[in-house]
Amino acid sequence: MPTPTERAQEILNSYGFEKPSQIVIEEIANYETVIIEEADLNGPLGQIYLTGDFALIKIEKSIREAGQRRFTEAHELGHYVIESVNGKFLSFLCTAEDINSFLSNKKKESDANEFASELLMPREWYLKFINRKEVSFDLIKECSSHFEISLTAAAFKYATIGIIPTALIMSEKGKVKWSVSNNYFPFKYIEKGVSINKNTPVYSIFQKEEYNPEKTLVPASAWFSDDYNCKRTTYLYEQNVYMKNYNSVLTLLWKSEFE
Ligand SMILES: [Zn+2]
């Protein structure tokens, strides 16, 4: 069975796309006999009804951000491409949590996200785009506009496929919601639901609404006190994007040259 990433690559190759602006989900859907329409879903962001050779996708009409809409469409298309092989009638109703958490424990939702991420940000293109550029949220923002994708989706891609040791943490209301890191990042364990340590800039955002968008040096132990590899003398760069409307902070951590 091909992986969701391989499925997305098959589509990219068969259409011969060369740049992100050519990847128009509605057009791919048309070729694949999938109809996309807007609807009032009252909560969920996307929905799909599918059989072996036909599908109907509904996208919540109140989604404003273009990147979010694009990702939701690609996510639903992912359900079709991955599931329609067995020809049975299926339907999925996908919440913001399913589509934006990236680490959903529902396998079919995380598969659809993996498909969408690869379809909209093919890894070869992404690696070429970030090659030799200094890590920071400025670079992630460049990726986000180049690939027409949300900042969180672009950051997630960066933190999972880049070669610079990086971790990405989403926290909400003072607690860690999810975290991810690439193979080169030396520390691993951030427990979901754990309270943000007071020695991190994120703490100041949640507790005092003091938001500094610049990168700062923080002791690695402020994030990874449970990791036995973590020495007191190790420092990391931390940079944050405060999403005030969602009471959430997206944190990028990367290794500093100071030990
Ligand atoms: Zn879904």
Do residues 207 and 225 share a domain? Answer: yes
CA 112 – ligand 1 centroid, Å: 6
Of 94, 120, 146, which residue sits at a domain end? 120
Same domain? For 143 and 115 the reply is: no
Q: What angle do CA 196, 94, 166 make, to 5 degrees?
A: 35
**For the chain, how many structural domains are there in total?**
2
In the structure, ligand 1 is a single-atom ion and the residues with CB under 5 Å from it are 92, 94, 98, 109, 112
Q: At what angle do helices 107-120 and 4-15 cross, to 10 degrees?
A: 30
CA of 45 from ligand 1 middle (Å) equals: 9
Q: Of the residues 102, 120, 138, which one is the last residue of a structural domain?
A: 120
pLDDT of residue 37: 96
Question: 37 and 58: one domain?
Answer: yes
Q: Are residues 62 and 133 in the same domain?
A: no
| Residue range(s) defining the domain that contains residue 62 | 4-120
Please state, in angstroms and as integers, the Cα–Cα distance from residue 127 to each residue in 68, 185, 205, following that order.
22, 17, 31
DSSP 107-125: HHHHHHHHHHHHHHS-HHH
CATH code at position 107 = 1.10.10
According to the model, what pLDDT value does residue 173 have? 95
What pLDDT score does 246 carry?
A: 85
Query: Is the domain of 134 the same as that of 232?
Result: yes
Domain identity same for 116 and 191: no
- How far apart are the CA of 218 and the centre of ligand 1, in A? 37
82, 104, 120: which is the final residue of a domain? 120
For residue 2, the CA-to-ligand 1 centroid distance in Å is 19
Q: For the whole model, what pTM was predicted?
A: 0.90
- 37 CA → ligand 1 middle, Å: 16
Residue 252 token pair: 């990028």
Which helix (H) or strand (E) segment holds residue 139: the answer is helix 137-146
Give yes or no: residues 177 and 69 share one domain.
Answer: no
State in Å: Cα 13 to ligand 1 middle.
24
- pLDDT score at 72: 97
Consecutive 10-residue runs of the chain (259 residues): their mean pLDDT? 94 93 94 94 94 89 92 96 80 91 83 96 96 93 95 93 90 93 86 92 95 94 85 90 92 80
**Is the domain of 128 the same as that of 248?**
yes
SS3 183: coil
| Rounded distance from Cα 12 to ligand 1 centre (Å) | 21
